[in-house]
């Protein structure tokens, strides 16, 4: 089990081997801490949905606490419920529709700086783009000057996360996790970006109806508003959860398209037919059906969030198995999405398996594919992310082919998210 948390160990291969050799449920005692790895759709549904009241986030999420504090991803109980209710309206269908123009506009701006034959790291470009979009749409903030700081800090945090998560699972919660100077500096840099957004808005007093205005105006029953610390935690959570994940989907999609020219051709054909050179708008989304299946299939092979963890408050049952209280349950999208029982030829990039006329999709159990999680803690930004991913993919692929150098090695870095370890160097070709 130690190899799961070794940054240099092959975590993914190890978990795959566990699932394939030991089956649907694998129980460990990890230096006395009970943990089980669950690989069956109905068991996953049981943990995330049916028995969700018996579960909180697993102890390893604590490794994110010094960055995300008590924001929506990590909070629990009444506090979480209240914050979710407060934030939810910003993600309602009607509201996110208004974000479409900003998404396409920011992408156009990026493309204006691209040229034929240019080489760049496409993952870095996607991270910048999605960071700008989440900051503008949710907090009406311009972070273009701080983007480099955010990228650098995230690289440090992501590199250190697995080991921190392993320690967090083992150590009692009252033992602080060790911190290196590098990690402290990285967290400090991110904090500076967030606090400067809050400060600027407090100073301007401008309330534009965005999420930050809502946060600044909200009061509890005693008339007390959110503290700067709470504001920081929610903004940081939405920034990080909302940009790195979507950037990962797009980066891996470019990587897959670069290796599958027949899929790329089909995508270009749809974009030509539906858009004919126009910038896509919200009204085009229902017609970009193949584009949507390309993204779905990309998230099957490279789920941006590759693992979810829960801890049981009291003993529970999964099928015929009785499990003790305090068990940490590990659920991996990455492993489940490649299970040949549900996905024939699991390694093949085949967007058509998601087409409405394909019988393979109809027989799929609910939790064989769950890139956004499920139950009450399902991703709040799923609609936002899918709209953004379709719009960005369509806008960029209309103008450029992203060429991956032949034989280019790109490996997965399983951290909080599943990012390409050293980016993805590409050459841009104007279409
Ligand atoms: C393709 C992109 C995305 C993927 C794959 C993704 C995936 C997920 C998953 C799997 C969870 C559940 C974690 C758990 O159960 O422990 C989650 C939660 C969350 N996501 Fe996303 N996410 C994406 C985009 C976004 C965006 C765009 C935002 C916001 C702008 C966002 C904000 C959040 C938040 C705040 C939570 C915590 C929700 C709660 O516990 O109430 N995500 N996401």
Bridge partners, residue 276, by sequence: none
Task: Say yes or no to pLDDT of 9 above 70.
Answer: no
Element housing 351 (H / E): none
Q: Given the DSSP bridges, would you call strands 316-318 and 321-323 parallel, antiparallel or unpaired?
A: antiparallel
Which CATH number does the domain housing residue 119 bear?
Answer: 1.10.630.10
Angle, CA of 242, 247 and 248, to the nearest 5°: 110
Share of the chain above pLDDT 70, in %: 97
**How far apart are alpha carbons 196 and 216 in whole angstroms?**
14
pLDDT score at 35: 87
Query: Is the pLDDT higher at 334 or at 211?
Result: 334
Alpha helices, H only, 226-358: 228-259, 261-275, 289-301, 333-336
Q: What's the pLDDT at 151?
A: 78
Q: pLDDT of 297-356, one tens digit each?
A: 999 999 999 999 999 999 999 999 999 999 999 999 999 999 999 999 999 999 999 998
Query: Where does the pLDDT of residue 358 fall: very low under 50, low under 70, confident under 90, or very high at 90 and above?
Result: confident
pLDDT at 55 over 70: yes
Q: How far apart are CA 71 and CA 233, in angstroms?
A: 5
Residue with the nearest Cα to atom 7 of ligand 1? 372
SS3 label, residue 134: helix
Pairing relationship of beta strands 55-57 and 119-121 according to DSSP bridges: unpaired
120-149 CB burial, b ≥16 within 10 A, e <16? eebbbbbbbbbbbbbbbbbbbbebeebbeb
From the list 166, 226, 179, 164, the residue with the least C-alpha distance to 198 is: 226
Q: Which two tokens stand for residue 160?
A: 């250190």
Partners of residue 321 on adjacent β-strands: 318
Confidence of residue 36 (pLDDT cuts 50, 70, 90): very high
For 129-143, 251-265, 274-288, which range has the lowest pLDDT when averaged over its residues? 129-143
Number of domains in the chain: 1
For ligand 1, atom 26, the nearest C-alpha belongs to 242
pLDDT of residue 92: 87
Residue 5's pLDDT band (boundaries 50, 70, 90)?
Answer: low
3-state secondary structure of 311: strand
Q: What angle in degrees, to the nearest 10, is found between the helix axes of 228-259 and 261-275?
A: 110
- Going from the Cα of 216 to the center of ligand 1, the distance in angstroms, rounded, reads 23
38 phi, psi to nearest 5 deg: -110, 125
Ligand 1: which atom is nearest the Cα of residue 80? Answer: 41
**CB of 389 within 8 A of CB of 250?**
yes
Q: What is the pLDDT of residue 4?
A: 58
Specify the pairing of strand 119-121 against strand 33-38. Answer: unpaired
pLDDT tens digits for 128-187? 999 999 999 988 888 878 877 777 777 777 777 677 777 777 777 777 777 777 778 888
CA distance readout (Å), 26 to 16, 30, 46, 112: 12, 12, 16, 51
Q: What are phi and psi of 329, to 5 degrees?
A: -100, 130
Measured from CB, residues less than 6 Å from any atom of ligand 1 are: 57, 72-73, 84, 134, 237-238, 241-242, 245-246, 249, 304-305, 308, 371-373, 377, 379-381, 384-385
* The pLDDT of residue 44: 98
pLDDT in tens, 82-138: 899 888 888 888 888 889 999 999 999 999 999 999 999 999 999 999 999 999 998
Q: Does pLDDT of 56 surpass 90? A: yes
Give the whole-angstrom CA distance, residue 255 versus residue 35.
34
Q: How confident is the model at residue 1 (pLDDT cuts 50, 70, 90)?
A: low
Closest ligand 1 atom to the C-alpha of 134? 30
Q: Look over the chain and give the mean of its residue pLDDT values, rounded to a whole number.
A: 89
pLDDT at residue 193, rounded to an integer: 86
pLDDT tens-digit readout, 213-225: 888 888 777 777 7
Q: Above 80 in pLDDT, residue 284?
A: yes
Do the bridges between strand 328-331 and strand 33-38 make them parallel or antiparallel, or are there none, so unpaired? parallel
Does residue 345 come out as left (phi exceeding 0), alpha (psi in the -120 to 50 range) or beta? Answer: left
The DSSP annotation for 140-174 comes to: ----TTTHHHHHHHHHHHHHHHHHHHHHHHHS-TT
Report which protein residue has its CA nearest ligand 1's atom 11.
379
Domain extent for 348: 2-430
**Which of 79, 215, 379, 386 to mutate to test ligand 1, by most ligand atoms within 8 A of the CB atom?**
379
* pLDDT for the residue 63: 77
d(CA 192, CA 185) in angstroms, rounded, equals 10
| Distance from residue 428's CA to the centre of ligand 1 (Å) | 30
Phi-psi region of 223 (alpha: psi -120 to 50; beta: other; left: phi over 0): left
CA distance 299 to 297: 5
Closest Cα to residue 59, out of 24, 35, 25?
35
Single out the residue of 418, 420, 431 nearest to residue 162, CA to CA: 418
Query: Ligand 1 pocket: which of 60, 245, 309, 383 to mutate (most atoms <8 Å of CB)?
Result: 245
């Amino acid at each position: 089990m130690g190899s799961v948390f070794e940054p240099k160990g092959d975590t993914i291969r190890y978990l795959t081997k566990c699932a394939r050799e030991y089956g649907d449920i694998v129980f460990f005692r990890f230096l006395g801490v009970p943990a089980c790895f669950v690989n069956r759709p109905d068991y996953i549904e049981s943990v995330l949905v049916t028995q969700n009241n018996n579960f909180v986030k697993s102890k390893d999420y604590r490794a994110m606490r010094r960055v995300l504090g008590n924001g929506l991803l990590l909070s629990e109980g009444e506090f979480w419920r209240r914050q979710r209710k407060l934030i939810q309206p910003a993600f309602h269908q009607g509201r996110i529709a208004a974000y479409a123009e900003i998404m396409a506009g920011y992408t156009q701006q990026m493309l204006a700086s691209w040229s034929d034959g240019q080489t760049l790291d496409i993952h870095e470009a996607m991270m910048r783009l999605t960071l700008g979009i989440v900051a503008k749409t949710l907090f009406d903030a311009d972070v273009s000057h701080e983007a480099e700081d955010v990228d650098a800090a995230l690289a440090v945090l992501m590199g250190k996360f697995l080991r921190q998560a392993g320690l967090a699972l083992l150590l009692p919660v009252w033992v602080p996790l060790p911190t290196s100077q590098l990690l402290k500096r990285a967290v400090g840099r991110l904090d500076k970006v967030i606090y400067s957004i809050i400060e600027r808005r407090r100073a301007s007093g401008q309330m534009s109806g965005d999420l930050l205005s809502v946060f600044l105006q909200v009061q509890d029953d005693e008339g007390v508003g959110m503290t700067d610390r709470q504001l920081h935690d929610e903004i940081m959570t939405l920034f990080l959860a909302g940009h790195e994940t979507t950037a990962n989907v797009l980066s891996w999609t470019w990587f897959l398209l670069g290796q599958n020219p027949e899929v790329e051709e089909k995508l270009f054909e749809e974009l030509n037919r539906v858009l004919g050179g126009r910038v896509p708008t919200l009204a085009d989304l229902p017609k970009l059906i193949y584009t949507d299946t390309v993204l779905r299939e990309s998230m099957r092979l490279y789920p941006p969030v590759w693992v979810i963890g829960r801890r049981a408050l009291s003993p529970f049952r999964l099928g015929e198995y009785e499990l003790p209280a305090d068990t940490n349950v590990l659920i991996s999208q990455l492993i489940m999405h490649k299970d040949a029982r549900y996905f024939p030829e699991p390694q093949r990039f085949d967007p058509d398996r998601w087409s409405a006329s394909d019988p393979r999709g109809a027989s799929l159990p609910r939790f064989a594919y769950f890139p956004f999680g499920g139950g009450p803690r399902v991703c709040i930004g799923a609609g936002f992310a899918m709209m953004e991913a379709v719009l960005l993919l369509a806008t960029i692929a209309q103008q450029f082919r992203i060429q991956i150098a032949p034989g280019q090695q790109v490996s997965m870095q399983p951290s909080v998210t599943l990012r390409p370890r050293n980016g993805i160097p590409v050459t841009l070709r104007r279409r």
